[in-house]
């Protein structure tokens, strides 16, 4: 009995000593490259860190919520890279690594130009959407930030033409400013006019598309249907 009691006391004392030992330090990944992060977002250090009254930066302050967002984004990137490695059954050294630049490409908003314009036109109509497009084009054109090709505004127009044909036409007219030989833009303008039963305007748009590209099958098909409708 005495031996059992002593054994229990020894176990309890060992547990107490173990409980008092400090927990092992949390293992952390490599320190992120702050300069690369700033360049990827097109910002300076003050975007995440707090500026003092003397315009210096308080790097220890947690007052700027963007600092915590940055930490979470760094952790998310590490998780993605680990997942890519596991999914491809390759070591990290043999897989493409996701970096801040992968999504941000020199801007704080990682959304595509198509997503941004579509969001603005849905919330406020074509006028602010066009203004936003022009603003971004003025600032970022020629850089690897947004896709300013012919397809971007066309894609937005295709998404809104059924419920907002006039908004689609407004965006497509902007597209024609930069791509005057875009037969697809003229064809989509014609389609938008048909949604408002403006058949004469539609015919003119389809005719313009075919003048640019005589083999444009979509414009040809719509124009044929309109001609048949007129004969009836």
Tell me what the mean pLDDT of segment 109-132 comes to: 97
User: Which domains, ranges and CATH numbers included, belong to the chain?
Assistant: 32-110 (no CATH), 113-231 (1.25.40.10)
User: DSSP of the chain, one letter per residue?
Assistant: -HHHHHHHHHHHHHHHHHHHSPPPPPP--PPP-HHHHHHHHT--GGGTSEE-TTS-EETT----HHHHHHHHHHHHHHHHHHHHHHHHT--GGGSPPP-HHHHHTT-S--S-HHHHHHHHHHHH-HHHHHHHHHHHHHHHTTSTTS--SHHHHHHHHHHHTTT-HHHHHHHHHHHHHH-TT-HHHHHHHHHHHHHTT-HHHHHHHHHHHHHH-TT-HHHHHHHHHHHHHHH-
Give the residue-averaged pLDDT of 120-128. Answer: 98
pLDDT value at residue 106: 87
The predicted-structure confidence for 37-46, as pLDDT tens digits, reads as follows: 888 888 988 8
Distance CA 116, CA 108 (A): 13
Q: Please give the pLDDT value at position 26.
A: 41
Q: Kindly tell me if the per-residue pLDDT of 118 is higher than 90.
A: yes
Is the model's pLDDT at 7 over the cut of 90? no
Instruction: Please report the pLDDT score of residue 232 as a whole number.
Output: 56
CB 170, CB 194: distance < 8 Å: no
What does pTM read for this prediction?
0.78
CA 60 distance to own-chain centroid: 30
Mean pLDDT of the chain: 86
* Four-residue CA torsion sign, 159, 163, 165, 168: negative
Greater model confidence, 94 or 135:
135
């Amino acid at each position: 009995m005495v031996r059992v009691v002593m054994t229990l006391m020894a176990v309890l004392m060992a547990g107490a000593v173990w409980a008092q030992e400090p927990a092992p330090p949390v293992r952390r990944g490599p320190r992120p490259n702050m300069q690369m992060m700033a360049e990827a977002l097109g910002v300076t250090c003050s975007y995440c860190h707090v500026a003092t009254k003397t315009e210096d930066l308080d790097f220890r302050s947690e007052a700027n919520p963007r600092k915590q967002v940055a930490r979470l984004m760094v952790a998310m990137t590490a998780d993605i890279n680990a997942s890519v490695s596991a999914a491809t059954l390759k070591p990290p050294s043999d897989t493409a690594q996701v970096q801040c630049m992968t999504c941000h490409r020199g801007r704080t908003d990682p959304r595509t130009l198509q997503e941004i314009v579509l969001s603005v036109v849905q919330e406020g109509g074509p006028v602010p959407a066009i203004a936003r497009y022009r603003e971004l084009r003025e600032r970022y054109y020629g850089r690897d930030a947004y896709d300013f090709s012919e397809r971007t505004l066309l894609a937005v127009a295709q998404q809104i033409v059924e419920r907002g044909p006039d908004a689609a036409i407004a965006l497509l007219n902007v597209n024609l400013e930069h791509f005057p030989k875009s037969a697809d833009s003229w064809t989509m303008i014609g389609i938008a006019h048909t949604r408002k039963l403006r058949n004469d305007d539609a015919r003119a748009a389809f005719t313009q598309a075919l003048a640019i590209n005589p083999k444009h099958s979509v414009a040809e098909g719509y124009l044929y249907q309109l001609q048949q409708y007129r004969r009836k």
